[in-house]
Amino acid sequence: MGVIARSNQSSNRDRENMTRSAKGNATTLSRRGFLSTAAAGLSVMALPGAVRAATDGPKYGGVFVVGAGVEPRHLNQNIATDISIKLISNPVFSKLVGLRSDLSPKPDLAKDWTVSDDGLTFTFNLHEGVNWHDGKDFTSDDVKFSFEELLFKFHNVGKGLADYVEAIETPDATTVVFRLSAPNDVIMTFIAGQGFIQARHIYGEGDPMENPANLAPIGTGPFKFVDWQRGQQIILERNEDYFLDDQPYVDRIITRFIPEASARIRALEAGEVDYVTYADLPPSMVAELESNPDITVTSKGHEAWGSITELMMNLDSAPFNDKRVRMAIDHALDINFIIEKAVFGLAKPATGPISSELGWAYTPDTTQYDYDVETAKALLDEAGYPDEGGTRFATSVIVNRANDAFVKAAQIVAEQLRGVGIEVEVKALDAATVAETVYVKREFGMYIQSLTTGPDPAMGVQRQYISSNIRPVPYTNGIGYRSDEIDALFEQAAASPDRAERAALYKQAAAMLCDDCAMVWLYENPTYSAFASTFGNLHSWAAESIYSYGDVYWKEGKDSRA
């Protein structure tokens, strides 16, 4: 489904006088990649802004309110990649390179760049006169620091790419040179997708995990951090010194925390919030919002995400360390029923660890464990878990309580597993407790989450299965999967400059993971966002570079900042 056009009639809100004005505080309320970035030796120059119709261009002013279901733990996505963190921190920071809607690279802090003929040297020429939000100069040294000391040490994807970068050089304040050990198809994708730049003078000393700036970030992005009212909202304001002169357009962004899904949607319908992202829009609400003439519902722009909802099992503990038990659980689940009831039929069954949206790396030719209760029971018997007294063993499934679809899916999983003699307790917890329990303490039996597998499997998929990524950080190898063969396949695929070779390796890895029933891949996620039709340029494209909001504008605003 693409964009569903809605009327552009204005709401009756007075944007200049309402409580959440720029000067006031808000009132709380059975189961398709990134294009090559540049040809060898090609110089990629800054392109002019989008051509605008004379009477239909972006306007200035207004307050843009986002309704979020989860309050983040902090605002540093270089050390944790929770979507709740990205949602708010992306507008504060910038990257060397961004992504357009077609996933081609576009200038950001780098105004242009070149790639050497042998594909080993990337040279980025930076904008001059860029300042951090605290007024200090941004230089190439900040870029070098961000990659070497933050992204390559703490980021759950960047850590796996560090070995491919032989050196990062800064010949002057506005030039950065990346020298690779071998041609690599992934580095530029990571730079453009997740390489947010942070200041050496802020993070150069002490433990980045404990830096106060994690709670009050200082970036170079279109919006500056203003205030965090715990349990209520976070306020950002327009960066008057932003290096792209015409942006941003809105005066402020307020992210309001509304944990209960129906209340979040009611706030959107009432005009109290303007945007609910795919992460916070329950599938059950899509049809209702589509019928509202003042709201635009879209699934456009998520094509590179490749998001899959999965049932993880703790492979370091019994009974899930037994492949037969994992197979039995997969056989015991009616995936189509889960899709119908949890996401209202808007999803399709997943066939393995790589989404069909990543077409070049995807294969449907994997082992599938069809819904078969009797086979499930037989496998449990064989594994040594007989049906004695109606219960073979007891376990639990953890889920983020802010996600209605996850909660419903967990309830169905529990019900269906009881049908084969497995007693399951559903534990719906807050996001912070989930991260601590599953990824840090690893005190769980089963866990339902969604994971983006794009825009490249080396970024989205590899992190979850390579043994070197078993560490206490969210969205790493939380199941504790270990396989020398899988490690080798992912390493070879990430290092290869040949797309066809990479595709074959990823398909082989997917087949092996399915053969091993490493987890249960439930369904490919439906991704819908909804926003007030009085706003323009709302999009969620180009996975991982979303939410800068620099180009978002209020259609009832002014023609200039004056």
Largest CA distance in the chain: 77
Distance CA 156, CA 162 (A): 11
Q: How many CA atoms lie within 13 A of 87 on its CB side?
A: 26
* Confidence bin at 497 (pLDDT 50/70/90): confident
Give a yes or no: residue 61 inside a domain.
Answer: no
- All residues at 6 or more sequence positions from 16 whose CB lies less than 8 Å from its CB, including other chains: 61
Give a yes or no: residue 98 inside a domain.
Answer: no
Angle made by CA atoms 176, 177, 178, in degrees to the nearest 5: 125
Give a yes or no: residue 390 inside a domain.
Answer: yes
Give a yes or no: residue 471 inside a domain.
Answer: yes
pLDDT in tens, 91-121: 999 999 987 766 678 899 999 999 999 999 9
Angle made by CA atoms 220, 119, 485, in degrees to the nearest 5: 95
- Tokens encoding 533: 């039709």
CATH for 372: 3.10.105.10
Amino acid letter, 230: R
SS3 200: helix
Distance CA 159, CA 459 (A): 10
The candidate with the shortest Cα–Cα distance to 449, out of 438, 460, 462, 459, is: 438
Pairing state between β 295-298 and 529-532: antiparallel
Dihedral of the alpha carbons of 269, 274, 280, 285, in degrees to the nearest 10: 20
User: For residue 225, what is the enclosing H or E element?
Assistant: strand 223-229
DSSP lists the bridge partners of residue 307 as: 452
The total of structural domains in the chain comes to 1
Give a yes or no: residue 38 inside a domain.
Answer: no
- Residue 414 phi, psi (nearest 5): -60, -45
The least confident of 8-22, 395-409, 439-453 is 8-22
Is it the case that residue 41 has pLDDT exceeding 80?
Answer: no
SS3 502: helix
Q: What sign has the CA pseudo-torsion 187, 189, 190, 196? A: positive
* Mean model confidence pLDDT for the chain: 88
Is it the case that residue 23 has pLDDT exceeding 60?
Answer: no
Q: Identify the DSSP state of 28.
A: P
Give a yes or no: residue 555 inside a domain.
Answer: no
Whole-number pLDDT of residue 14: 41
- Tokens encoding 61: 């002013």
Q: How many CB atoms lie within 10 A of CB 363?
A: 18
Average pLDDT of span 66-74:
94
- Residue-number span of the structural domain to which 500 is assigned: 307-524
The candidate with the shortest Cα–Cα distance to 321, out of 481, 522, 440, is: 481
Whole-number pLDDT of residue 546: 55
Angle made by CA atoms 163, 462, 505, in degrees to the nearest 5: 95
Give a yes or no: residue 230 inside a domain.
Answer: no
Q: How many CB atoms lie within 10 A of CB 141?
A: 16
* Confidence bin at 455 (pLDDT 50/70/90): confident
Give a yes or no: residue 55 inside a domain.
Answer: no
Distance CA 171, CA 121 (A): 14
Whole-number pLDDT of residue 50: 36
Instruction: Give this prediction's pTM.
Output: 0.77
